[in-house]
């Protein structure tokens, strides 16, 4: 697969047509001899494409899922389609008034390309942010590491698998470290993979906004985990530090849990300090190296 910047360059040449048709209402149907638009080398506007996807029934089984990234599945290698068609040879189609009719496969491929282009754009923006913002938030001795890691991530396709991790962990999960995006579940789970073997026998829950309405639900969930999986564990409620923005909740949770394993982790969660914290999380998940930046110094763990 090409690196993220090259992938974005290739995807950007695909035009988006019918920009004025974003408000149209697509209709789903099944037809036996459908007259459809084939080999459409363009994309539909995002709003219209989302409306088309929403019309498609999602009754396919997991084993019938369409794969557009890989030809490794046996049915695909034999030239067979993974699409489950309705009986009697009917084909699923989406009809858009004034534009035409598309098969389900065409709409889904358009959606995948649109999402991939968005992901590649996010990846390029992330690497630029690393080189301009993060490099200024860490001490001078760490700045080469920031640039090296940005270069390395930029050379990877978004859905390349991280070395040493399961196939579900991709380089794209790092892109959400750039504010104001929310850190995704994959990155949080990757951090858990790194530290769970050192974690004490307790279930800790934490709400970075310290919202009272969430406490009872979190407490019940924690006790349910103990009853079902680990009856010897205890439940501990945590309520600091308090998050000060609307998008850093994942970062606060990661560092709160990380500090219970390594007390040397920096406690600077100020607006300026969050840039360094984001790089520390990236480096620890990717390399297993904890770089704690405190008052201009670095400690390895």
Q: How far apart are CA 86 and CA 90, in angstroms?
A: 5
Helix, strand, coil share of the chain (percent; to 5): 45, 10, 40
273, 291, 265: which is closest to 148 by C-alpha?
Answer: 291
What is the reported pLDDT for 121? 96
Q: Which residues touch 116 (CB under 8 Å, ≥6 apart)?
A: 7, 11, 158
Using DSSP's 3-state secondary structure scheme, residue 206 falls into strand
Q: Coil, strand, or helix at residue 136?
A: helix
- Cβ of 104: how many Cβ atoms within 10 Å? 23
CA dist., res. 71 & res. 218, Å (int): 42
Which distant-in-sequence residues (6+ apart) come within 8 Å of 278 by Cβ? 134, 177, 178, 179, 251
Query: In a 3-state reduction of DSSP, which class is residue 237?
Result: strand
pLDDT digits (tens, 9 = 90+) for 72-114: 444 444 444 444 455 567 889 999 999 999 999 999 999 999 9
The residues facing 291 across adjacent strands are: 300
Bridge partner list, 202: 234
Query: In angstroms, rounded to a whole number, what is the distance separating the alpha carbons of residues 50 and 43?
Result: 12
Cβ 82 vs Cβ 100: under 8 Å: no
Q: Which stretches of the chain score pLDDT less than 70? A: 59-88, 195-202, 208, 239-240, 260, 289-301
Angstrom distance (rounded) from CA 167 to CA 128: 26
Which residues neighbour 13 within 8 Å (Cβ) at sequence distance 6 or greater? none
C-alpha–C-alpha distance, residues 240 and 264, integer Å: 17
Beta-bridge partner residues of 30: 92
91 DSSP β-pair partners = 31
On whether the pTM is more than 0.75, the answer is no
Omega before 126 within 30 of 0, i.e. cis: no
**What pLDDT shows up at residue 74?**
41
């Amino acid at each position: 697969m090409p690196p993220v910047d090259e992938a974005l360059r290739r995807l950007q040449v695909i035009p988006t047509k019918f920009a004025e048709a974003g408000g149209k209402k697509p209709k789903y149907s099944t037809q036996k001899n459908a007259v459809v638009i084939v080999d459409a080398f363009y994309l539909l506007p995002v709003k219209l494409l989302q409306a088309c996807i929403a019309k498609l029934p999602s009754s396919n089984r997991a084993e019938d899922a369409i794969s557009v990234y890989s030809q490794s599945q046996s049915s695909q290698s034999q030239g067979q389609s993974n699409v489950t068609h309705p009986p009697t040879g009917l084909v699923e189609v989406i009809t858009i008034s004034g534009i035409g009719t598309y098969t389900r496969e065409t709409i889904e491929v358009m959606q995948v390309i649109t999402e991939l282009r968005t992901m590649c754009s996010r990846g390029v923006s992330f690497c630029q942010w690393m080189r301009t913002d993060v490099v200024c938030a860490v001490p001078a001795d760490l700045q080469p590491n920031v640039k090296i890691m940005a270069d390395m991530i930029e050379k990877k396709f978004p859905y390349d698998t991280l070395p040493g991790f399961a196939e579900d962990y991709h380089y794209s999960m790092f892109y959400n470290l750039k504010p104001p995006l929310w850190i995704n579940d994959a990155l949080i789970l990757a951090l858990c993979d790194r530290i769970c073997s050192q974690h004490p026998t307790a279930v800790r829950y934490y709400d970075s906004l310290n919202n009272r309405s969430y406490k009872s639900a979190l407490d019940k969930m924690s006790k349910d985990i103990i009853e079902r999986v680990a009856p010897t564990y205890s439940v501990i409620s945590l309520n600091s530090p308090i998050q000060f923005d609307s998008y850093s909740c994942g970062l606060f949770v990661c560092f709160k849990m990380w500090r219970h394993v390594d007390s040397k982790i920096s406690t600077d969660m100020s607006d300026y300090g969050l840039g360094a914290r984001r790089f520390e999380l990236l480096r620890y998940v990717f390399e297993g190296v904890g770089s704690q930046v405190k008052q201009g110094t670095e400690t390895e763990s």
